[in-house]
Structure 1
Amino acid sequence: MRLPTLLETIFLWLLCGLPLLVPAQMPSQQAYQPPPLSVEFLPQGGFYQDSLTVELLCPGAIIYYTTDGAQPNESNSRRYSRPFKITATTVVRAMSVLAGERSNVFSTTYFINEPPTSFPVVSLSITPSLLFDPLQGLFMRGTNAVDSLWHLPGANFWSRRELTANMEIFEANGQLVWRNLVGFRLFGGMSRLFPQKSMAIVARKRYGDSRIRYPIFGKNGLKKFKYLVLRNSGSDFGRTHFRDALMTDLVKKWDLDVQDYRPAHVYINGKYWGIYNLREKINRFYVAGHYPVDKDSIDLIEHRLTRRYGRTDHYRRLLDFMEKNSLADPANFAYVSSQMEVNNFMDLQIAQIYFDNQDAGGNIKFWRPQTPNGRWRWILYDTDWGFGLSDPRAYRNNSLAFHTEPNGPNWPNPPWSTFILRKLLENKDFERRFVNRFCDYLNDDLDSTAVLARIEKFYQRLLPEMPRHLERWRLKGAEWQNDVALLKTFAAERPAYLRRFLMQQFHTGGVRQLSLGIAKGGKVVLNEAIDFRDTFSGKYFEKIPIRLQAVPDLGYRFVRWEGSGVSSESPVLFLELVQPDWHIRAVFEKFEHPLAGKIVINEISCNNKQSGDWVELYNNSKERVNLEHWILADRKNEFRFPAYTLPPKGYVVVCEDSAKFLRSYPKVQSLINGLSFGLDKRQETIQLFSPETSSVDSVGYRLPPMDSVFTLNLLLPGLDNGDPGNWELTSGMGSPDAANAYYLASRIQVRRSLFMQIGGALGVLVLGLLLLWMRRKGYF
C-alpha cells in the first residue's frame, strides 16, 4: 500500500493526533553462536513416591555421570549408554563432551519416597572423599589431631579449606527454587566436635553466581545472600535444637541486629543429614544487606579488638575516652552517645542478662559506618550457652552481677567484657533508663506468658519433623522433650529473679503495679520500649520514675491524664510510683487540625547511603506556616523543629546531616539539619505534630527488602497519606525540595490533554473551513 507523504502525515497528525509513520529499524545482524553444551535430565529432579528411570540427553555428545555426589570426568566416571533406574534418594551429576569441548557439570537430586515435610530441603553434592576420606576428609579427624587434648587441635575439621559443592534448595511443596555451585566450609567453634557439623555456604562469581538469589527467609527477609550458614544449633546440638533461634526471636523487635532463621532438612550426596538451622552469616555482607551502608566502608570488630574489616582506631579512641572520663558528667555521656548507639548496646546487655548467656563475653561483634557521624552498633549472635544450657536451675543466676563484675576471670566475663556497661551505669539517667527498659521488656516480650507461647510455637513446629533427625544422630526423643521442658521452666521463673537482682543492685525500692488505659483516639508510649492502644499492666519500681507520652492519632488531640491522683494536660508525664498500685488513663478527643491535609509528608528517603535519611514536607496551603516547635516522630524518637517558616506551595527537607545531604543534592536550598533519628528501611511510622500535640499528618510504610536506592513519593499533595495506594516507590535519588515525578507527570498530562483538546477543536474548525471553501469553488 502507499504510505502517506511527510506533508500528508503531518496534516493528519495535526487534525487527528495520528502517530507519525516512520520506517522500522532493521535488527542488527550477529554471527550465529551455537548454544553451550548441556545435559538434560528426564524426568527432572524432585520428589517422587516410587523408583524411576532416568534418561540423560545431549544429542551427539558423550555423557559421563556419577550417582554418589562425585564430580564426573572422563577418567573415573560411568559413560552413559542407556537409561538407568533409581530406587532411593540419589544425586545425579553429569557432564558432556562433544568434539573436544567439555560442558559444565550439571547436578540434580531425586528424592524417592521421602516423608512429607513443612520445612525446606537443601541438597548438597560434593566429591565424597573431600569429606569422608580418613586421611584428608574435612569431616574427619585425620592424622594430625592431638588426641591428648579434648578439643582435638590439628583435626581436619578445624581446617578453613573451602571446597566446591552443588547446592539445591527446594521449598516444602517440592519446588526447586535455587541451584548452583557454591563454596563449602565448616563453620563454628567447639560445635565442630559434634557428629553433625555446621557448614558455611558462600556464593562466588567463579562458581556461577555471586549471590544466592532467593528469599529463603520469606517475604520479610533479604532477597539475596552472599553467605548462608547451615547450623547444627551450636552447643545446643543434641538438646532442644532451637535454643539460639528462640532467643533471637524473642528480641527481634528490639534495637538489635539479629540473624534470620528457618529450619531445613539437609541431604549430603543423597544421604539424610538431619535438621539444620538456616541462618544468616554475620559479616560485612550481612551489615550491608540490612543497612544502607557499603560493605567496603564499615569497621567491623569482634571479641575484644579483633579486626574483621576496616580499622579499630575509632573504637580504641572511644575506650580511651571512657577510661579517662567519668560518664556521670552529662557532657561526657553525650559524647559517648555520639560515638556508639547506646540504646542498641543497652538492649544487647538486657538480652544477655535475661538469657544468662554464659558465653556472652566470648561472642561479641560490633560495627560502624566509616562516616564522620558513624556510631558503633552491636550484633546479637551465638547465644546457645543461655537459657540454662549447662544448668537446669540457671534461672536463679544473678547475671546482672555477672555482666557488671569488674574483676572477672579471663573467661567467661573478663573485665574488658563488662567495662562499657559499668562505665555507662556511672550516669544516673542511663541507670534509670536501663532499669525501666529492663522492666518494659519483662512486662512485654520477656513476660513469662509471652516467652512460653514462643517456646510452644517452636516446639510445635519441630515436633512432627524431629523423629527423623533424632534417629539420624542416635538421639532420644524423651531427652529432647525434657530439654524443651527446661526451657519452659526457665521462662516461667526468670522474671521474678531478675526483678530481685535489679532491686538489690540499684536500690530501686519495692515493686509497684501499674495499670494503664486509653480512650479512643491515640496511643501511649511507656518509657522507650513499649507503646499500646488499649490497656497495659506491668510491674515497675518505687524509686525509678517512669515516663508516659500520649500520642494522638490523626484527627484527634490529647486532652488529659486522669486516675490515681493524677491530673495533667501535658502529653508527657513523669511519675514516681510511691503508692503500691496505679491506675491511669489517657484521654483523647476528636480534633481536626486546621492544617491537616495542608502540611503533608510528601517524600521519604530511608536507604540512601550517600545522603542519609530525610523527610520532605510540602505546604499545600495558601499561607505561610511557622514550624517552630513542631515535632516529627517515629515510634520511639522525636525531632523538634527549629524556627522555620514554610511558604505557600513550598517544600522543606529535614535531614540527618546537611553536609552529607548536600553532597548528594547540591541544589537543594530549603533544608533543616539535625534529624535526630534514622528511618527504618523496611517498616516505619512517621508522624507530624503541631506544638499543641495535635496530629497533623501520619505516614506508615512496610517495604520489601531492596538493595537499590529509592524514595517513597506521595502521588499528589492532596491525597490521603494514610492510604498506601497513594504512594509510589520510585528508584533513584528522588526529588527533594521539588515536585514528585508523578505530580509533574500529572500536570504535564493535564496540559497535554488541554492542548490536544484545543488542537482538535482547531483541526475541526480548519477542516470545516476547508470543506466550505471547496464547496464554494465547486469541487463538489
Structure 2
Amino acid sequence: MGRIRSLPELDANYKQKGKGWERSTHIDYFESNGTDTKCQLQQDCGIRIQGNYSRSDYQKSFRLYARQDYGPKNFKYAFWDNAKDDEGNVIDKYKKIVLRNGGNCAFTTKCSDSYWQSLLEDLNCDNQSARPCVVYLNGEYWGVYVLQDDFCGAYMENKHGVNKDNVVIYKGDAEAIQPLGYKLDEGELPEGVKDEDYYFKDLESFMSTHSSLENQSDYDEFAAMVDEDSMIDYFATEVWINNKWDWPGKNWSMWKTTAKDDTNPYADGKWRFMVYDVEFGGISGSGDASENTIRNSKLLKTGTADEKSVNHDKPHVRSFALMMTNKNFRDKFIARLESFTNGMFEKNRATTRLDQFKGMYQPILDQSSNVSIPLMA
C-alpha cells in the first residue's frame, strides 16, 4: 500500500473539495459486542473525500454529512461514550462524522492520533473522540478506519450550547491550497467581504501595534480577544506531546462566536483552540527517541519540516508568542506543562492506555493484512 503521487502533480477528482464534489450515499452502521452484531443506524447522507496529503493514499478518508436533502438532518446515535457536552451528557447527534484512514499513520499504527487524543482530559480546548471501525464500500472490504467526530458549528452547539449559526472556525491548511496557509472552515463572510482572514482583523490589528504584554492593561485587553486558559492548554498539549512536522505551521484550528450571549461563557467572542491531527506526537516521524525535535524545528524559519509549505507567521503562533511576554502567563503555562507530567500523561497511565489501544487495533489490523483490499494491493 502507499500513496499515488504528490498532490500538485495530479488534477484528479480525489483532490477536489467543497460541496460541489459531495455525493449522495447510504450508510449502515453496525455495533458488535464480540458476540452479537446489530445495525444501529441506517441513513442516506452526503459523502466527500477528506484530508489533504492523505487524499493521495489508495485508502481514502471520508467525511459523511447528515442533510435534509438526503434524509434526517443529523446522525442520531451516540457513537462515542466519552463524547459529552459541558453538562456531562453523552452527545447523541452529529452533523458530520469522519472515517479517517489514519493520516500520516495510515500504513503503520492507524491510531497514533486517536491514542494521544484519548489521553487528553479536563482541558479548556476541544479535541476529537475516536474509535476503530471496519469499512465496507459498495460491499467490498476497505479495511480499518478511525471513526471520529468533526469540528463544525453543530459540534460547538451540541458541546457548548452556542448558536451554530454564530460560529466561525479557522483551520490551518497547506499553502499550496490556501495562500494564507489557513482557511475559514466554518461560517460565512459578511456580504461584500472577500478577505479570508476577515474575522482575524481585530487580532491582527492589536498584534501589529503591540510587541509586549508586560503592561497588565495591555494583557487584559488582548485576553478579552483570546481565551487565556484555552491557549495555555492547547499549546501545553502540543508542546508536551512533541507534535512536529505539520505543526505549528499546519493542523491548527481556532473558533469563536460572532455574537455574544452573556448567559453562555463560550459565547463571549473570544478565540479558543482545538486539537486534531497529532499523530506526529511522541517519537513518530523522528530519527530516534533521543532526537530533540523541538530544538531542531526552531532552526527552520517555517516551524515545520518543509520550508516551502507554510511560514510561522500565523495568528495562533503570534498570539501565543505575544502572550508569553507576560510573566503571569508564562508562569501559568509552565505550571500547566508540569501538571501534565504527573496527570494525564503520567507514565503508567499512558502505558496502560497504549496497551488498551494495542488490544483494540491489533486483531483487526492483523485481519486487514490478510485480506485483499480493492485498489490497495
Q: Structure 2-normalised TM-score?
A: 0.80
Return the offset for 1:150: 6.3
Provide the residue aligned with 1:289 in structure 2. 158
| Deviation readout 1:321-345 (Å, 9 max, x if unpaired) | 1331221111111111111111111
CA–CA distance in structure 1, aligned partners of residues 301 and 322 of structure 2: 10
Give 1:166's match in structure 2, choosing from 26, 31, 55.
26
Provide the residue aligned with 2:250 in structure 1. 362
CA–CA distance in structure 1, aligned partners of residues 76 and 95 of structure 2: 9
CA–CA distance in structure 2, aligned partners of residues 442 and 316 of structure 1: 37
Provide the residue aligned with 2:207 in structure 1. 322
Provide the residue aligned with 1:307 in structure 2. 184
Return the offset for 1:253: 2.6
CA–CA distance in structure 2, aligned partners of residues 406 and 346 of structure 1: 23
The equivalences for 1:259-278 within 5 A come to: 259-278=128-147
Return the offset for 1:398: 4.6
The equivalences for 1:600-749 within 5 A come to: none
Provide the residue aligned with 2:117 in structure 1. 248
Provide the residue aligned with 1:675 in structure 2. none
Provide the residue aligned with 1:223 in structure 2. 92
Return the offset for 1:279: 0.4
Determine if contact 2:130/2:149 at 8 Å carries over to the other structure.
Answer: yes
**Counterpart of 2:282 in structure 1: which amino acid?**
F
SS at match of 1:262: strand
The equivalences for 1:40-79 within 5 A come to: none
Return the offset for 1:418: 2.9
**Counterpart of 1:306 in structure 2: which amino acid?**
K
Return the offset for 1:410: 5.2
Return the offset for 1:355: 2.5
Structure number with the higher helix fraction is 2
The equivalences for 1:407-426 within 5 A come to: 408=303, 409=307, 411=309, 414-416=312-314, 418-426=317-325
Give 1:371's match in structure 2, choosing from 259, 271, 277.
259
SS at match of 2:164: coil
SS at match of 1:463: helix
Return the offset for 1:252: 3.3
CA–CA distance in structure 2, aligned partners of residues 280 and 346 of structure 1: 23
| Deviation readout 1:470-518 (Å, 9 max, x if unpaired) | 22368xxxxxxxxxxxxxxxxxxxxxxxxxxxxxxxxxxxxxxxxxxxx
In 2 relative to 1, CA 218–423 (structure 1 residues): closer, same or farther, beyond 3 Å? same
Larger RCO of the pair (alpha carbons < 8 Å, separation 6+): 2
Aligned residues between the structures: 329
**Counterpart of 1:378 in structure 2: which amino acid?**
F
| 5+ long unaligned stretches in structure 2 | 85-89, 173-180, 190-196, 261-267
Give 1:385's match in structure 2, choosing from 262, 280, 302.
280
Query: In the alignment, is residue 341 of structure 1 matched against residue 227 of structure 2?
Result: yes
Provide the residue aligned with 1:746 in structure 2. none
Give 1:154's match in structure 2, choosing from 3, 6, 11.
11
Give the RMSD, CA atoms, in angstroms: 2.5
| Deviation readout 1:669-713 (Å, 9 max, x if unpaired) | xxxxxxxxxxxxxxxxxxxxxxxxxxxxxxxxxxxxxxxxxxxxx
Determine if contact 1:186/1:199 at 8 Å carries over to the other structure.
Answer: yes
Determine if contact 2:225/2:269 at 8 Å carries over to the other structure.
Answer: yes
The equivalences for 1:516-531 within 5 A come to: none
CA–CA distance in structure 2, aligned partners of residues 284 and 333 of structure 1: 29
Return the offset for 1:198: 0.4
Structure with larger Rg: 1
CA–CA distance in structure 1, aligned partners of residues 272 and 317 of structure 2: 16
Query: In the alignment, is residue 449 of structure 1 matched against residue 309 of structure 2?
Result: no
Provide the residue aligned with 1:589 in structure 2. none
Give 1:182's match in structure 2, choosing from 32, 39, 45.
45
Return the offset for 1:227: 0.9
Provide the residue aligned with 2:54 in structure 1. 191
In 2 relative to 1, CA 422–431 (structure 1 residues): closer, same or farther, beyond 3 Å? same
CA–CA distance in structure 2, aligned partners of residues 453 and 318 of structure 1: 42
CA–CA distance in structure 2, aligned partners of residues 299 and 182 of structure 1: 24
| Deviation readout 1:700-752 (Å, 9 max, x if unpaired) | xxxxxxxxxxxxxxxxxxxxxxxxxxxxxxxxxxxxxxxxxxxxxxxxxxxxx
**Counterpart of 2:100 in structure 1: which amino acid?**
R
| 5+ long unaligned stretches in structure 1 | 1-139, 142-146, 475-780
SS at match of 2:202: helix
In 2 relative to 1, CA 379–314 (structure 1 residues): closer, same or farther, beyond 3 Å? same
SS at match of 2:254: strand
Return the offset for 1:310: 4.0
In 2 relative to 1, CA 207–250 (structure 1 residues): closer, same or farther, beyond 3 Å? same
Among the aligned pairs, what percent are the same residue?
A: 23
CA–CA distance in structure 1, aligned partners of residues 308 and 208 of structure 2: 20
In 2 relative to 1, CA 350–405 (structure 1 residues): closer, same or farther, beyond 3 Å? farther
Give 1:440's match in structure 2, choosing from 339, 342, 353.
339
**Counterpart of 1:332 in structure 2: which amino acid?**
D
Structure number with the higher strand fraction is 1
Q: Structure 1-normalised TM-score?
A: 0.40
In 2 relative to 1, CA 404–299 (structure 1 residues): closer, same or farther, beyond 3 Å? farther
Determine if contact 1:363/1:382 at 8 Å carries over to the other structure.
Answer: yes
In 2 relative to 1, CA 180–366 (structure 1 residues): closer, same or farther, beyond 3 Å? same
Return the offset for 1:401: 7.8
**Counterpart of 2:12 in structure 1: which amino acid?**
A
CA–CA distance in structure 1, aligned partners of residues 287 and 94 of structure 2: 37
In 2 relative to 1, CA 413–423 (structure 1 residues): closer, same or farther, beyond 3 Å? same
SS at match of 1:274: strand
Provide the residue aligned with 2:192 in structure 1. none
In 2 relative to 1, CA 229–208 (structure 1 residues): closer, same or farther, beyond 3 Å? same
Return the offset for 1:280: 0.8
SS at match of 2:155: helix
